[in-house]
Structure 1
Amino acid sequence: MGPRSTLFPVRHVIALDVGGTGMKAALIGDGGELLHQDRRATGRERGPEAVVEGILGFAADLRAHGTERLGEPAVAAGIAVPGIVDEARGIATYAANLGWHDVPLRALLTDRLGIPVALGHDVRTGGLAEGRIGAGKGADRFLFVPLGTGIAGAIGLDGRVEAGAHGFAGEIGHIVVRPGGTACPCGQRGCLERYASASAVTEAWAAACGDPDADAADCAKAVASGDPNAVRVWQQAVDALADGLVTALTLLDPRTLIIGGGLAEAGETLFRPLQDAVRRRVTFQKLPSIVPAALGDTAGCLGAGLLARDLLETTDPSEVTA
């Protein structure tokens, strides 16, 4: 988005979504309007300390942009990061793909920006956005499940997302759906994400069709064209996903089940058989509505903005502490 000039100061927050390869950022107004957007490479090849400095520098540049173009600096900031996140203490505990351990990211950003900062887990933050302003808008209880390289989840309760006692709430990808099955990096065998993530479908389809470059999107196209080999691979993934989802909805009883990530881009090729598979498995449970995510790869950034705006309700910006 190009520069925006303004005659009057515009109150806004900084939103930052940090991924393994790229960072997405925005300046967001009080009404949720996107006033400015930007992207930068995460630069993980330069090491964890450089990644942190890159985040701090990006945030500082966003603050400067707001001051220059919107007439005043941001009043708060929200940042979403991958891995294990201690949101209450503001610490990025661990992220394998970024190589960091126990980074006090909230304190570092607060010190650099001089404003209140909220730190969130990327999937829970994306789920917050989907639940409040995306596919789950209006639902009091929802479960957001992105099917990407792995499978995570965000449990939505009355407009907020549950982190759990230790920051692991919603990790549906590590529900064991095939006991004794494929080994998972988490140490278990048979985890859901080893069967129903986009990367798992890619691996299975590449082996089945003999093309090492084939991916999950290719498998979905082959399913749509009626390829029986593809249908077999796809149905195995759908069945595993349905098993995991029924376990989750039995425990959580969500009103809406939001499916996102790369695999959801298959549209009805995924949703029609998935809805049927879940319906076949429920007995006493109430079937939630199963819908595609609405916000795509902007969910994390929009959610970070929501975290920042929520912070303003409980924090006096003139009394910032790390």
Structure 2
Amino acid sequence: MKAALVGADGTLLHEARRPTGRDRGPDAVVESIAEFAADLRAHGVAHLGEPAAAAGVAVPGIVDAENGIAVYAANLGWSDVPLRDLLSTRLEGIPVALGHDVRTGGLAEGRLGAGKGADRFLFVPLGTGIAGAIGIGGTIEPGAHGSAGEIGHIVVRPGGPPCGCGQRGCLERLASASAVSKAWAEASGDPAADAADCAKAVRSGDPQALAVWQNAVDALADGLLTALTLLDPHTLIIGGGLAEAGETLFTPLRAAVAARVVEFQTLPEIVPAALGDAAGCLGAGLLAWDLLDATGQAAAPTARATTDATTTNPATPTPRR
């Protein structure tokens, strides 16, 4: 879990991390989040002179943000958790906003990071899985049922490897950091090898690594082509662990997408995410500030302790979907 006290301007005033403890079961995870939030609130009182005015929490899986329910998260083992109400009770009744981890990270990238100034963008983190956040006019599109942006489950290789969603050949089974790690471990004969090792081997010119890497890049380019055809974004923001390879990823990816774009399409700018793993905390803070604005509860700034330290946002840390 990552958590922070976040100021109105997006400043991270205090950060902390704790293990999720998912090995202790779903109820323990919920309790861990609630306890973390309460401790962070207490830190604000003790060190900044003011408790948080609102809370934002970002969780993986399927999220009903409107009703404050964490509907389903396979990797945390929970379903239909009324997380907003549970946290509000633990935090003495302050308003709580609930969001999806990738969409929340996308909100931060759109307002504060690589998508700042773009009225339409797509944020795609490449981690254990792949998901997407669709940014339109300063907001993130949730979809009619809370699952917009699941680009990782676009089928790019029909009949390809089976995916946990029940399909075969999904993008995240071919181009996520975990997919590259698995492919490189098999190709190199080293079961401990991962995507970072593959990228290093690519830079050294290893032909096997180049083949594994290019397969992932081609699959990702096919998935992104579908996305840009449907959404016509100004900017494609690529984040997550695989993006840490830098130009080892971005140079061939830009070339692959450009090669697939046809005359009626406009090639968007393809850029790395700017906020790293702080995006979730910053985005959860933005959710909380937006909630205060919407309910008219935000006070006029009078001092740093009462303006910059008014948002608590525990964010569950799981590999990116």
Q: TM (normalized to structure 2)?
A: 0.91
* Residue 188 in structure 1 maps to residue 167 in structure 2: yes
Q: Does 1:80 align with 2:52?
A: no
Q: Is the 8 A contact 1:150 1:197 kept in 2?
A: yes
* Between 242-251 and 28-37, the greater mean CA deviation after superposition: 28-37
CA distance in 2, matches of 1:33, 1:200: 34
2:212 is aligned, of 221, 225, 233, to 233
Structure 2 counterpart SS, 1:246: helix
Query: 1:267-293: CA deviations, max 9, x gaps?
Result: 001000000000000012100000001
Deviations 1:184-203 (A, max 9, x none): 11000110111101111111
Q: What is the match of residue 86 of structure 2?
A: 108
Question: Where do 1:116-127 residues align within 5 Å?
Answer: 116-127=95-106
Shift of 1:317: 4.2
The secondary structure found in structure 1 opposite 2:29 is helix
Structure 2 distance, partners of 1:49, 1:317, is 31
SS at match of 2:18: strand
Gaps of 5+ in 1: 1-22
- How big is the alpha-carbon RMSD for the aligned residues of Structure 1 and Structure 2? 1.0
When normalised by structure 1's length, the TM-score is: 0.90
Tell me whether 1:59 sits opposite 2:59 in the alignment.
Answer: no
The within-5 A match list for 1:78-157 is 78-113=56-91, 114-157=93-136
Partner of residue 10, structure 2: 32
Structure 1 Cα separation of the partners of residues 189 and 142 of structure 2: 41
Distance in 2, matches of 1:166 and 1:150, equals 20
Deviations 1:213-263 (A, max 9, x none): 111111111111111111111111100000000000000011010000111
Instruction: Point out 4+ residue stretches in structure 1 off by more than 4 angstroms.
Output: none
Aligned partners of 2:12 and 2:282 also within 8 Å: no
Following the alignment from structure 2 to structure 1, what is the Cα–Cα distance between the partners of residues 9 and 244? 29
| Residue in structure 2 matched with residue 290 of structure 1 by the alignment | 270
Name which of structure 1's ranges 64-73 and 207-216 shifts more when overlaid on structure 2.
Answer: 64-73
Bigger Cα displacement from structure 2, 178-187 vs 309-318: 309-318
Name the residue aligned to 2:190: 211
Aligned-pair distance for 1:30? Answer: 2.1
Deviation of the 1:316 alpha carbon: 4.3
Q: Which residue of 1 aligns with 2:307?
A: none
Q: Does 1:249 align with 2:228?
A: yes
Partners of 1:71 and 1:121 lie apart in 2 by 30
Q: Is the 8 A contact 1:115 1:317 kept in 2?
A: no
Is 1:303 aligned to 2:303, yes or no? no
Distance 1:81 1:123 in 2: 9
Q: Which stretch of structure 1 is more off in the superposition, 26-35 or 128-137?
A: 26-35
1:315 alignment counterpart: 295
Aligned length: 296
Amino acid at match of 1:270: L
